[in-house]
Structure 1
Amino acid sequence: MAYQHSVSSFQTLQEDVVSGDQYRYALTNFRIAHEKVEEQRAQLEEQERQVAQLRARIALLEGNSAGIVGKSGNSVDDFSIKNAAAQLEKMINRWASDIVRNPPVSLIELCGAIMNDLASTITDTPPRYDGSSIQVQSLLRHILSETISEGIINCLVVTNSPEANDQLTRIHEHIFMRDPTIASVWRRQTYSAAVDSCSPDMTASVLVEHMPTLLKCMDGALPTTGGKSIIDAAYDFSRMIHGSHASSGDAFYRAFVPELGSTLSPRQNELVKRCMSSEIGNIDRVGATVFPGLVKVSKGPAIPGQEAEIIQTVVRRAQVICECALTGGSVPSATVLA
């Protein structure tokens, strides 16, 4: 029995021992596998370095290095824009209320000055205003909304030079028509180097261009409320929507102010007061716009042989007061206060 056990153990030992060739073959394969693993690890590290460099380059192009929360690089969705717009709307309303409570001239003179400044942006048959406090307050909000829309939001205010800003706006429009993606990167990169606030000369230039007669009635006083400049607040709002990642990527934002006397559009206008004419089925018109609306501008899919369609999506409807609520239901007339 002992002999059989020894033979069995010897046979088992022989099975566990491999030849030199087999050992060298296994060792060579192990070394090759180890070298491949090391090579793959080095490749992964190199890829990570390249990805990090690429991300840094993209961040530089998109202006993320500016580090301005909500103004460069950070994604700003439509909900955030609506909230910021609501804050700006409150400032405009407070300013208009303060002016009406302590007017620098009579309300009728203020009304006439506003209508004179808005002459190029009203319909052929504008509403008839008699200079009441509610009308003047609403018209003050309208003309400041018009000024902010055309002078700040729809013009890329990046420098304190109106001429340079106009040129940058034209460049952006040209780039956008060719490639919205490049325009988006260019816009964010440009705003990453924008001035922190509008200079007094720049602010005065915007106001003189859009509301010169009213500015004279106010002895050149700039629109402020609570010690804060409304133009600066509007500029911050403009930087937020233009210098950030739009939720739809390549789109950009534009403001719009419905004309006085234009037909109400439920898709573009939101009434801030009850409209009796609309409730009985009659067509009513815009009495005043108390805050501009916002649209998101993008390009539709390319069609061979045709230019891509420009798509405007309403993000925030313009806040308006209808004509019947503002004028007491008076019949529209071509006569306005001068």
Structure 2
Amino acid sequence: MIPRIALTPGEPGGIGPELAVKLASLGHERGNNNHAAGNGLAHGPAQVVAIADPELLRTTAAQLGLPLRLIPFDPAQPPGETPPASLHVHPISLAQPAVAGRLNPANAGYVLETLRFAAQGCLNRTFDALVTGPVHKGIINDAGFPFSGHTELFAEIAGIERVVMMLAAGELRVALATTHLPLKEVSDAITAELLEQVITILHRSLRDQFRIPNPRIGVCGLNPHAGEGGHLGREEIEVIEPALDKLRALGLRLLGPLPADTLFTPPQLARCDAVLAMYHDQGLPVLKFKGFGHAVNITLGLPFIRTSVDHGTALNIAGHNEADCGSLRAALAQAVQMAKLRNL
């Protein structure tokens, strides 16, 4: 099986187009037996289909001095491996030419169109998985499109009430109970219903998508010291512990709630297949410290596979040939692996 993977480079003024071109160049290096670049592509055979403006990719490759052949994507043909120094491409046109390092609200609709096309292609099984480059939430909202992130958009497109954001760096997997919320809103958002839904999705995904037969999930408390027996907050006593007890009665293996500074230590992590953090900046600083630049963002609970880079648009280095495609390469490898596991 050769998986067919949709790739959306993301914000056209950021580093996403550069990353896509560099990803293709890894195949070129592999084809030339250049081992200095880490033996080229590590993800195995795949057909990579960029959902993007072809001229943006050509211009980016020329600026980088890298070879790039664009192959028109034909969904009627069976997937074949994308050759070295090439990308299959489904064309979607920019509203205005992109300038590296500069945001342009006129192109916000282009970004959303690439995401919607790729997601719909996954839903109808044209694609086996979707890998996304970084987008800029602010410029999309400034252009008049309500947008809180990839995760929420794909859930809406798929008609799914609840999805879960998880980042992975090697064996460390960190999922989030809440995602892009102001900190003052997190406590009210942590409900027993939310936790039961999120943990159920996380458990099922670890079992079915990662083939961990009986996954162990460590759960962070919300408050310092997990509430210190109610002296530093009662969310653990009134909300988190009852939810965990209910799920334990169904056979789920749950550790916690534990203080985050305790759970994110090697002895505790060794007992877990994944960690559930209560909010974005409780879990992700640890994950990114461990694996920034090579970590993968994975959306759990969707009816299709979606992985992404662990970083943003990096406008300050866009156009300077400084972007490292390590995270995009890891995201592609993860998507290919998950697609193959699904089809076993």
Q: Which TM class, normalised by the smaller chain length?
A: under 0.3
- Between structures 1 and 2, the one with greater strand share: 2
TM-score, normalised to structure 1, is 0.22
Name the one with the larger helix percent: 1
TM-score with structure 2 length normalisation?
A: 0.22
The structure with more radius of gyration? 1
